[in-house]
Chains A and B, each alone.
Chain A
Amino acid sequence: MKTVSINLLNADKTQLQKISKDYLLSLNLEEMKAIQNYFQSKKRNPTDAELETIAQTWSEHCKHKTLTGSIQYRWKMENAPEGSPRGRKWKIKTYNNLLKETIFKVTEELNKKWCLSVFKDNAGIIEFDKKNAVAFKVETHNHPSALEPYGGAETGIGGVIRDILGCGLGAKPVMNTDIFCFGPLNYPDKKIPEGIHHPRRIYRGVVSGVRDYGNRMGIPTANGSIIFDEGYMFNPLVYCGTIGIMPKSKVSKKVEPGDIILSVGGRTGRDGIHGATFSSLSLDKDIETSVVQIGNPIVEKKLADTIIEARDKNLYNAITDCGAGGFSSAIGELAIISNGAKVYLEKAPLKYKGLQPWEIWISEAQERMVFAVPKKNLKEILKIFNDEDVSATPLGEFTNTGKLEVFYNDKVVCYIDMDFLHNGVPKTKKVAIWSDKAKSTSMIPINTGKLCALSKLKKILSSFNVCSKESVIRQYDYEVQAQTVIKPLVGMKNDGPSDAAVIKPLFDSCKGFVVSNGINLYGKTDPYWMAASAIDEALRNIIAVGGNLARTALLDNFCWGALDKPEQLGGLVKAAQACYDIAKVFGTPFISGKDSLNNKYVLQNGKLVSIPPTLLISAVSVIDDIRKCITMDLKKAGNPIYIVGTTKDEFPPTVEPKTAKEQMIALQKAIQKETVASCHDCSEGGIGVACSEMCFSGEFGMEIILKNIPVENKMLDEAVLFSESNSRFIVEVKREKEIEFRKFLKRKIFAKIGIVLESKRFIVKGVNADIIIDSDIFELKKCWQKTLSEYD
């Protein structure tokens, strides 16, 4: 057991960089210099533990340096008209803190009273009813999942569940949501470089990990999405989200000097060391294996149950989870509230002997939480944990000395000013560049080859990104806790694709919440419209099942590639700006978010591959009566089919938030007043796919006439059928309520486009009223179902 002092005081530039590299600190020269200055003022060298503590606290993972740093953004419009005075010149805008000036700003300006805790805790918390609140958090676990898909996904889920257990004074997890981005499953084996897992293996490992952890925790996995693209070959994305419910009185924490630091749950081992700093590096072949961990859901389940019991007895002042950075981050963050802490590391229960003090301090071993417990409650809280075989150990106490003090057997391991630790990181200054490529008007990616409309429809239905995800969904327990009202699979045979999940978390109330997500691949073309489309899609999904736009909150999860390239950062700035522009108009605040900014892979030939810029938007909406919710499968022959929204010939699809919002509010009312039998969001594959899915899920036929569809410009049949324009819904209206429905939609863009048929045929008449598709609905279903089932 020893603590090493590192010679920083006399180090020159190259030596500082070498220290950062050798100790895997992921700190840049400027940051190393700030640390050097600090210790020069203290007239001593730092210990290994001190350097590690600072590196963990200042890591991109914990501090979000890029998004909160200053960014000089330069952009120009290549397609600006010739004569315009500022046309093609470079313009400059400086952001002092991108996150504060875009995402946070939406929430600040909207100032919704029902947002109870935003962007400060482990999760965002909104009001549910008079007594309860809902907490929602989405995390990413990309790099670990690339190396060890099963363990990576497991610990991703485990981590986000602990975020919910550790927000405020702890919420009870009631639902999980999981969104993945993988390389194509049919990618040729021979083209996979050494050291990379085949997407098939990643896909299977990740799904099994989510299944095994989520199911064993007894939390339903009721919402999700999977997209496949070659851009994710080397760096898959694994988003894990959890929603919890808690009393409104328990949304904030406090820490008093003298409170005991209690470590609860799993033991500490050498696993996960450098996870926080590792996630701030790019992946390459020779990465340490200690960063990969295997989860233990049984330990976490016991932890979850005892936390709720201790919370309801008011036995502790604060709780947080041990995530990236381990004790150093968890205790360090709680210590901000009291302004100091004293920790005795020799007390920490270990998995095995031989750990150095700094390893105990920063290990990210799973299933651990840290509590601040008033001395008088210690005995009682320890009893609760002991009774359930949950290990709980006092590690020291919180202080108000302004110092973070860590000891090992009376030897000082770490002694740093809290102020320097949390505010001493130099602000990053970065340059971002964007130049708008000329936008073509007709770029819907359908090759206008010889294929007939039906063959194209079948091809799209069976494509990886549209096809049925049933073989994945069925592995998840989405019914456990018996609160899932609208399930991920709906329809006659319970195999149709639901737009969103609806949960009824209280047994004595019909209030519920809707959860949905929006994610797409448009980032390759235009990050602005990618972000706008993701928001629009998430909100469409909420509205389609009967959600309430006025009580909807959003979460953002940015996954970006090599941000040291100004062009990549320029895309990120555009996406963040879109979040502000679009969410502001919709009136939907952001309540939580997380970014993962180094999703790139260095190939053996030194080539750097970045993922497509990807933003996941998750939405949660609180609704008054779950009995008013609807599903997407057709219900009755003879009902008229309507479309809401304009179909445009465009790629990537744009969003007009003001019009979209008005349409959504009108449709929401129509659904509330029970005039709608079924409703489906129109997204990937456009009207063709949406209508087909409604048909084979409800086992009714449908006839639609493309001529009647409101379009922006005159469009060809297939462009109308497959356009992916945003803000559109296909609506099956109850025949007897048609007049009422039309009243609700008055002055909005909508039209009657067809009718539900008794016969099991999907018939599409083109703009010239000729039949372009006439197909058996079960044949379409077969195409839609077969793709992924081949990879069970």
Chain B
Amino acid sequence: MAEYKILVKYKIGFFDAEGERIKKDILNYRIKKSISVETAQVYEISGSITFKEIKKIAISLLSDPVSQLFFVNFNLGKTKAIEVYYKKGVTDSVAETVKLGIIDMGVKKNLSVRTGKKYFIDGNLLQNELKKIAEKILANNVVQDYKIE
């Protein structure tokens, strides 16, 4: 059994539309600080799978080599970040499709997949401001949990 956390984000210079939208939302909530927001898609894949296979999956299924970079089990601990995942029991449609995609690639293994979002927020924000951003903008506590890093 191995567990991998794959993080896919835009390369520098590519427009991160979602990040820009969230920035606007944060300003709408009267947090008037100069901030930057970067978004990343997170895939947690576990099962009897090798690093080589994971790399192949990340390159050809989960990321776009032209505009995106991916990181496997790598901590981008540079800024404050908020991770958002679906709660247990909520259908994770993206994960279902990833599972099918992996099988279609020829990796016929029984894997468990969970997907989430990670938002890197730079701008010297206070803990309660991050909490507000997480609850009011990024995660809906009806179906999602969040974690501030």
Whether a CB of chain A sits under 8 angstroms from the CB of B11 is: no
Question: Which residue on B lies nearest to A290, using beta carbons?
Answer: B89
Whether a CB of chain B sits under 8 angstroms from the CB of A296 is: yes
**Chain B 86-109 interface 0/1 with A at a Cβ cutoff of 8 Å (1 = within):** 110111110011001000000000
Stretch at the interface among B40-48, B63-71, B117-125, B134-142: B134-142
Whether a CB of chain B sits under 8 angstroms from the CB of A200 is: yes
- Which residues of A are found within 8 Å of B97, using beta-carbon distances? 296, 298
Contact partner of B91 among A147, A197, A269, CB < 8 A?
A269
> Cβ of B89 and Cβ of A296 under 8 Å apart?
no
Contact partner of B143 among A292, A351, A365, CB < 8 A?
A292
**Residue with the highest number of chain A CB atoms closer than 10 Å, among B21, B25, B142:** B142
In the complex, A147→B143 CA distance in Å? Answer: 9
In the complex, A170→B83 CA distance in Å? Answer: 42
In the complex, A147→B87 CA distance in Å? Answer: 15
**Residue with the highest number of chain A CB atoms closer than 10 Å, among B86, B89, B90:** B90
> Cβ of A294 and Cβ of B96 under 8 Å apart?
no
Whether a CB of chain A sits under 8 angstroms from the CB of B24 is: yes
> Cβ of A294 and Cβ of B92 under 8 Å apart?
yes
Question: Which residue on B lies nearest to A790, using beta carbons?
Answer: B24
In the complex, A297→B92 CA distance in Å? Answer: 12
> Cβ of B93 and Cβ of A148 under 8 Å apart?
no
**Chain A 213-240 interface 0/1 with B at a Cβ cutoff of 8 Å (1 = within):** 0000000000000000000000000000
> Cβ of A289 and Cβ of B142 under 8 Å apart?
yes
Whether a CB of chain B sits under 8 angstroms from the CB of A198 is: yes
Q: How far is the CB of A418 from chain B (nearest CB, A)?
A: 32
A: number of interface residues (CB 8 Å): 29
Whether a CB of chain A sits under 8 angstroms from the CB of B28 is: yes
Whether a CB of chain B sits under 8 angstroms from the CB of A151 is: yes
In the complex, A189→B25 CA distance in Å? Answer: 12
> Cβ of B142 and Cβ of A292 under 8 Å apart?
yes
**Residue with the highest number of chain A CB atoms closer than 10 Å, among B24, B100, B143:** B143
In the complex, A295→B86 CA distance in Å? Answer: 13
**Chain A 777-792 interface 0/1 with B at a Cβ cutoff of 8 Å (1 = within):** 0000000000000001
In the complex, A271→B28 CA distance in Å? Answer: 33
Whether a CB of chain A sits under 8 angstroms from the CB of B29 is: yes
- Which residues of B are found within 8 Å of A366, using beta-carbon distances? 91
> Cβ of A269 and Cβ of B143 under 8 Å apart?
no
> Cβ of B90 and Cβ of A294 under 8 Å apart?
yes
Question: Which residue on B lies nearest to A291, using beta carbons?
Answer: B142
Q: How far is the CB of A764 from chain B (nearest CB, A)?
A: 36
Whether a CB of chain A sits under 8 angstroms from the CB of B30 is: yes
- Which residues of A are found within 8 Å of B100, using beta-carbon distances? 389
**Chain A 265-303 interface 0/1 with B at a Cβ cutoff of 8 Å (1 = within):** 000011100000000000000000110111111110000
In the complex, A409→B137 CA distance in Å? Answer: 46
Contact partner of A296 among B91, B137, B143, CB < 8 A?
B91
In the complex, A697→B139 CA distance in Å? Answer: 39
> Cβ of B93 and Cβ of A147 under 8 Å apart?
no
Contact partner of B87 among A201, A289, A297, A298, CB < 8 A?
A289
Question: Which residue on A lies nearest to B137, using beta carbons?
Answer: A201
Contact partner of B93 among A198, A289, A296, CB < 8 A?
A296
> Cβ of A189 and Cβ of B29 under 8 Å apart?
yes
> Cβ of B89 and Cβ of A271 under 8 Å apart?
yes
> Cβ of A293 and Cβ of B91 under 8 Å apart?
yes
In the complex, A197→B87 CA distance in Å? Answer: 19
> Cβ of A270 and Cβ of B91 under 8 Å apart?
no
Contact partner of A792 among B21, B89, B91, CB < 8 A?
B21
Q: How far is the CB of A124 from chain B (nearest CB, A)?
A: 30
Question: Which residue on A lies nearest to B140, using beta carbons?
Answer: A148
Contact partner of B142 among A147, A270, A297, CB < 8 A?
A147
List B residues 18-64 near A (Cβ within 8 Å): 21, 24-25, 28-30
Question: Which residue on A lies nearest to B20, using beta carbons?
Answer: A792
**Residue with the highest number of chain A CB atoms closer than 10 Å, among B91, B92, B97, B100:** B91
> Cβ of A271 and Cβ of B91 under 8 Å apart?
yes
Question: Which residue on B lies nearest to A389, using beta carbons?
Answer: B100
- Which residues of A are found within 8 Å of B96, using beta-carbon distances? 296, 299
In the complex, A792→B87 CA distance in Å? Answer: 28
Given A148-B143, A294-B143, are A271 and B90 also a contact pair (CB < 8 Å)? Answer: yes
- Which residues of A are found within 8 Å of B137, using beta-carbon distances? 201
In the complex, A366→B96 CA distance in Å? Answer: 14
In the complex, A151→B143 CA distance in Å? Answer: 9
> Cβ of B142 and Cβ of A148 under 8 Å apart?
yes
In the complex, A294→B90 CA distance in Å? Answer: 7
- Which residues of B are found within 8 Å of A269, using beta-carbon distances? 89, 91
> Cβ of A294 and Cβ of B93 under 8 Å apart?
yes
Question: Which residue on A lies nearest to B141, using beta carbons?
Answer: A289
- Which residues of A are found within 8 Å of B87, using beta-carbon distances? 289
> Cβ of B93 and Cβ of A298 under 8 Å apart?
yes
- Which residues of B are found within 8 Å of A293, using beta-carbon distances? 90-91
> Cβ of B142 and Cβ of A351 under 8 Å apart?
no
> Cβ of B91 and Cβ of A351 under 8 Å apart?
yes
- Which residues of B are found within 8 Å of A271, using beta-carbon distances? 89-91
Question: Which residue on B lies nearest to A147, using beta carbons?
Answer: B142
- Which residues of A are found within 8 Å of B86, using beta-carbon distances? 294
Contact partner of B28 among A151, A200, A290, A292, CB < 8 A?
A200
Q: How far is the CB of A788 from chain B (nearest CB, A)?
A: 13
- Which residues of A are found within 8 Å of B24, using beta-carbon distances? 792
Question: Which residue on A lies nearest to B88, using beta carbons?
Answer: A352
Given A151-B143, A198-B136, are A270 and B89 also a contact pair (CB < 8 Å)? Answer: yes
In the complex, A351→B28 CA distance in Å? Answer: 39
List A residues 284-332 near B (Cβ within 8 Å): 289-290, 292-299
In the complex, A58→B86 CA distance in Å? Answer: 33
- Which residues of B are found within 8 Å of A297, using beta-carbon distances? 93
- Which residues of B are found within 8 Å of A200, using beta-carbon distances? 25, 28
Q: How far is the CB of A161 from chain B (nearest CB, A)?
A: 15
Given A189-B29, A200-B28, are A294 and B136 also a contact pair (CB < 8 Å)? Answer: no
In the complex, A112→B90 CA distance in Å? Answer: 46
In the complex, A365→B89 CA distance in Å? Answer: 12
In the complex, A270→B88 CA distance in Å? Answer: 11
In the complex, A271→B92 CA distance in Å? Answer: 12
Q: How far is the CB of B103 from chain A (nearest CB, A)?
A: 10
In the complex, A366→B93 CA distance in Å? Answer: 11
- Which residues of B are found within 8 Å of A148, using beta-carbon distances? 140, 142-143
In the complex, A297→B30 CA distance in Å? Answer: 36
In the complex, A295→B96 CA distance in Å? Answer: 11
Question: Which residue on B lies nearest to A271, using beta carbons?
Answer: B91
Question: Which residue on A lies nearest to B104, using beta carbons?
Answer: A389
In the complex, A292→B143 CA distance in Å? Answer: 8
Q: How far is the CB of B34 from chain A (nearest CB, A)?
A: 20
Question: Which residue on B lies nearest to A287, using beta carbons?
Answer: B142
Q: How far is the CB of B141 from chain A (nearest CB, A)?
A: 9
- Which residues of B are found within 8 Å of A270, using beta-carbon distances? 89
Binding site for B on A (CB under 8 A): 147-151, 189, 197-198, 200-201, 205, 269-271, 289-290, 292-299, 351, 365-366, 389, 792
Given A149-B140, A298-B97, A299-B93, 8 more A-B residue pairs with CB atoms under 8 Å apart are: A198-B136, A289-B142, A290-B89, A293-B91, A294-B86, A294-B143, A389-B100, A792-B21
A-B residue pairs in contact (CB < 8 Å), sample of 17: A148-B142, A151-B143, A189-B29, A198-B136, A201-B136, A205-B140, A269-B91, A271-B90, A289-B143, A292-B142, A293-B90, A294-B90, A294-B92, A294-B93, A296-B96, A351-B91, A792-B24
* 4 tightest A-B CB contacts, nearest first: A296-B93, A294-B91, A147-B142, A148-B142
Binding site for A on B (CB under 8 A): 21, 24-25, 28-30, 86-87, 89-93, 96-97, 100, 136-137, 140, 142-143
